Amino acid sequence: MKTGAIIVTLIVFFIMMTLFCWLASNLGRLSGMTKFLEQYGQPLTSILYLLIGLYVLWDAGTIQRFLG
């Protein structure tokens, strides 16, 4: 990668990171969101990790090898 591309990539990364942190902070202050996450946060996190793991296995071709 050239120096200019690296600099642009880092700038975009830090802008997006700042935006996501700001958004998460503001969403965390909403009482409805807080109640929802306290009630359903753990099951949703478990399901999300399971789905991510299945996607990784599918994308790597592992599931197709086991089934095929």
Query: How many structural domains is the chain composed of?
Result: 1
Segment 55-65 mean pLDDT: 93
Identify the band that residue 67 occupies on the pLDDT scale cut at 50, 70 and 90.
confident
Using the Cα atoms of residue 18, residue 22, residue 23 and residue 25 in order, give the sign of their dihedral: positive
Element (H, E) at 41: helix 31-60
Residue range of the domain that includes 14: 3-67
Residue 4 is predicted with a pLDDT of 93
Which pLDDT tens digit goes with each residue over 6-46?
999 999 999 999 999 999 999 888 889 889 989 999 999 99
Tokens of 56: 């990784």
Is the pLDDT confidence value at 52 over 90?
yes
The set of residues, in sequence order, having a beta carbon less than 8 Å from that of 3 and lying 6+ positions away, is none
Is the pLDDT confidence value at 1 over 80?
no
